[in-house]
Structure 1
Amino acid sequence: MGISMLPFYRRITNSFLFASQWTTALRTSDLIQIGKLLNRLPKSSRTDDFSLDPLSYLLTFPFKPPVNYYSSGLMVDRQAGGFFQTSVHRRISRFLIPFYRKLATCPSYAEALAVAICSNNLQQINRLIRRLVTTKELKEVSRGRDGVILVFQPKGSKFPYEHWLMRELR
């Protein structure tokens, strides 16, 4: 999963143009533009399996069995009534890069995280993630539906953002 998401988050972090085009396409639910933006990424990051609305996106990638699919995405807290911001997306993406780099390059880390998630070991999940996502803007790490949820309260935003990484059961 890390190898699929890492180029995406790097592009969001390093290219204001790409990030702002992503935000515009997201806010207008422009599936064609999202597809074009994803096609600009390396093949490992391309997917045509995604969902979006003006407040969130979720990208899904195939994975080896028995998992089959993983999804990763970001959403503005719907109850807070916020809206998706390019600057915040870039900021959170920068915080996520070390985490996805580790998932991509260290199978033992990925396995330890998977074991912690499957055993519902919140202390271990927190330790593994916070070791790499070191910002104070990360307010909460929790176990979500077959994965993890990272809640950020970014500087410059009144609204919390949730980053999801989860196994898809299909």
Structure 2
Amino acid sequence: MTGMDMREYQRLVALFCLGAAGACTAAELLEQMGIAAMGAGHPPEFLPSSAPAVAGLLRELQGSGHVIRGEDRYDTRHGRQVAVWSAADPGAVLALPAAPRGSGRNADAPPAPVAFRTITVDQRLAFLEIEFEDWIQTQEKAHRAAQERHREEFVSFMKRARRLVATTEVPACS
């Protein structure tokens, strides 16, 4: 099986699961993809191995217009905002695709070892850049919220100060 066959299979499984499950994060989609594919008897090594891999797949599908990135959601497990994705056309993939060619195994044969895949330095830097941008967005949101809170506290203080000055104001002597 070629890498393109596997990638196309992963795209179709992702679109099928997004259509069935609705909006979800990359980690939730990875779980849905695993449940659907393994329930159909597909080998697990054909699926993405991690949530960041699924996030990359989702960004690829977003670039082609198949998925939409929605409002971020706070993830209590990781303590940060995570992207929520949904299918642009939930009915686009109505059935789970067949496993890619070369997926048939002899029942008596042990499973084929999964080759360890490494990522390049450029890919690592790209992941770090994505994480940094996400962190910056979170910090900016927190900063805006703190500014708004301080602004409201200052307005409240000024109202109290005006009332105090108005009640203690000495009339001018003529």
Q: Assess same fold via TM > 0.5.
A: no
Say which structure is richer in helix.
Answer: 2
TM superposition score normalised by structure 2: 0.27
From the two aligned structures, give the one with the greater strand fraction.
1
Structure having the higher Rg: 2
Normalised to the residue count of structure 1, the TM-score between the two structures is 0.27
